[in-house]
Chain A
């Protein structure tokens, strides 16, 4: 994962949204899309460019659940634990995925930054519960075994990419 912040990328994003304070959420979202998290260096830079206090930007970044100040994995696995998924037993799926990747409630990202596992309140795919979203693709009607197979497939893809 690139820990360096490319200021040209940030400048491009700023040019797209303008630097009115209203745009801060959209700007942070775009930065996160590139880096999968919000690199610390972005804060003073944005504060300066947008004429906003760093604390104000930080307050927005920490308020919203989607923003992460920690680097995230290449594959972000969101296990839905909305009501519908919950009553159709999403908990064993989460358990299985975590154990496949050696992750836990406290450690959400693998050390090699390949996978991040989180829960999400509802993906809106309740008709296909239980659902899991990997990056932007929704995988329907999951079972623990299907989840294992999916993880192994992704591990394979990563291996082949190396």
Chain B
């Protein structure tokens, strides 16, 4: 238990020393992605093998002087999830990909004992071997501020976090700065809310700081519900202390003594790691009463979500923490005045808090030096879909889509051509080829009707049907609509019905106009952000791919060939030998013809079951 500033400094010194003494480190990624690919088995195997081979190895950072030959660490996620399980080797900085349990022995014998590279496990592209993690093209254009420690430190160890400068910013905020100074520094840095809206964080803190209420709250929104986004999950799992530190600094700045982290139920690993991190901080006395001998008291609690997307909205989130249904309410009053339990509340997103410590440590000017001045800093994106390198990336704001998709993402997967990228999840929009050179920042995207949102980037190729994508998002929002206000509850349902009709080949003349009219009404009258932005995916796909809608409605044709009900099955007369096997197989008698002459399909009878395709010995039947 630390009781004053000097003790924290002494502990930091000891932790830094212990880290410096380590000769070699094996970091096994234990993020959700790599865990699913079996990284825990690999970690255990390493520990077991070290024991067997009698190599002096430790698995935790010890404060007392001890210099093991090797340390095996459950590290966080370096972001390249697709190639997991990932294993990093220090001091070389090598990254091994797709490691199997059977590779562990070779890694120890060759890399740990003899310092050789196991080339087969390194990343390769176009015949070039990229041994060092930082040399891999996926990482080269990235700038990691929020993910700085992800993959480098043991996420289960507060000592490890302290050894890389952790809680230094909190110490500075607590002892060397006044609340006003902290708020001024954050305001100056122009840090904007990473949850999607981009509201200036400093302004929010200032509003809460001004309130006279004795009880204030610091709340973290970890309800990352957008399908296709998982940046916040990674921060919570891999660098939980950094987030806690951000919240604690907010507590000092605003004069709050209680924090809540609202985490969605689908992230069990994040909940476990955060709980552990809070326990560790309490044990050291960094959370609790009279922290480090000052009169500042602060503690953090976890609220686990129960599966309601709308709880990502501020007032619904606070209602959920209060143990109520997650209904949003009319604003104003703002959360900063009447938030959790009706008290002034700072509500920020995970990534926003994760930026705070760095800004306090290095100063606002350093932060302003990254990216454009109206949206400084970096932004984390989850890069997924039909792209070669999927994973988590972090780039300076203002990086173009082209750099993200083609340089970092490595271009399209398979032979499909780039068609669109969906940004911002169910509240966002689709960007197309013409937007590829657009810088990614809050204001530029707003101008083209899109938003950064939480940062999900789902890349789609020419085999993706945009009407179906719109239907997919509308289905999602409709399902998640809380039902409180009519425009969202009824409006999204009507929009979904129309979209379902269109993809089923029953679209009517006037449907597009009706969709746009409904969209306009919902956006202007819905109560909360979820409803207001629900029509965005539809509006943007109509704007950019109107011809696809028209093909579905008027020609009953799906240009991408994915809508099941609009599929046409055709027999290639050049390949058909007229054997009649398909006609006998067809359950509805849609195929007919003369033996030894090409057969044909009556599309009015065809149910598109595909059994004729499976049965044809000459590959003469295709979907088209």
Write the chain B residue with the least CB distance to A28: B306
1/0 contact trace for A1-41 toward B, CB 8 Å?
Answer: 00000000000000000001111111011000000000000
Q: How far is the CA of A82 from the CA of B469 in the complex (A)?
A: 11
Out of A26, A82, A128, A139, name the residue touching B82 (CB < 8 Å). A128
CB-defined contacts of B324 to chain A, threshold 8 Å: 60
Q: Does B35 contact A (CB under 8 A)?
A: yes
Q: Quick one: given A21-B323, A22-B321, A59-B325, are A126 and B306 in contact (CB under 8 Å)?
A: no
Stretch in contact with the other chain, from A103-111, A117-125, A151-159: A117-125
Q: Does A83 contact B (CB under 8 A)?
A: yes
Q: How far is the CB of A144 from chain B (nearest CB, A)?
A: 14
Q: How far is the CA of A128 from the CA of B77 in the complex (A)?
A: 13
Q: Quick one: given A25-B303, A65-B306, are A128 and B227 in contact (CB under 8 Å)?
A: no
Out of B304, B386, B425, B476, name the residue touching A25 (CB < 8 Å). B304
CB-defined contacts of A126 to chain B, threshold 8 Å: 228-230, 382, 384, 390, 456, 458
Q: Does A138 contact B (CB under 8 A)?
A: yes
Is the Cβ of B37 less than 8 Å from the Cβ of A124? no
Which residues of B369-421 have CB atoms within 8 Å of chain A's CB atoms?
382, 384-386, 390-392
Q: Quick one: given A22-B323, A121-B227, are A66 and B307 in contact (CB under 8 Å)?
A: yes
Is the Cβ of A128 less than 8 Å from the Cβ of B230? no
Is the Cβ of A129 less than 8 Å from the Cβ of B322? no
Is the Cβ of B82 less than 8 Å from the Cβ of A122? no
Q: Quick one: given A59-B325, A121-B225, are A139 and B36 in contact (CB under 8 Å)?
A: yes
Is the Cβ of B385 less than 8 Å from the Cβ of A83? yes
CB-defined contacts of A22 to chain B, threshold 8 Å: 321-323
Is the Cβ of A60 less than 8 Å from the Cβ of B36? no
Stretch in contact with the other chain, from B261-269, B346-354, B526-534: B261-269
CB-defined contacts of A128 to chain B, threshold 8 Å: 33, 36-37, 81-82, 84, 390
Could you say which of A21, A23, A60, A128 has the most chain B C-beta atoms within 10 Å of its C-beta?
A128
Is the Cβ of A87 less than 8 Å from the Cβ of B325? no
Q: How far is the CA of A122 from the CA of B326 in the complex (A)?
A: 19
Q: How far is the CA of A64 from the CA of B321 in the complex (A)?
A: 13
Is the Cβ of A125 less than 8 Å from the Cβ of B36? yes
Is the Cβ of B460 less than 8 Å from the Cβ of A125? no
Q: Does A102 contact B (CB under 8 A)?
A: no
Q: How far is the CB of B182 from chain A (nearest CB, A)?
A: 29
Q: Does B233 contact A (CB under 8 A)?
A: yes
Write the chain A residue with the least CB distance to B36: A138
Q: How far is the CB of A22 from chain B (nearest CB, A)?
A: 4
Q: How far is the CB of B280 from chain A (nearest CB, A)?
A: 21
Q: How far is the CA of A60 from the CA of B321 in the complex (A)?
A: 12
Is the Cβ of B307 less than 8 Å from the Cβ of A140? no
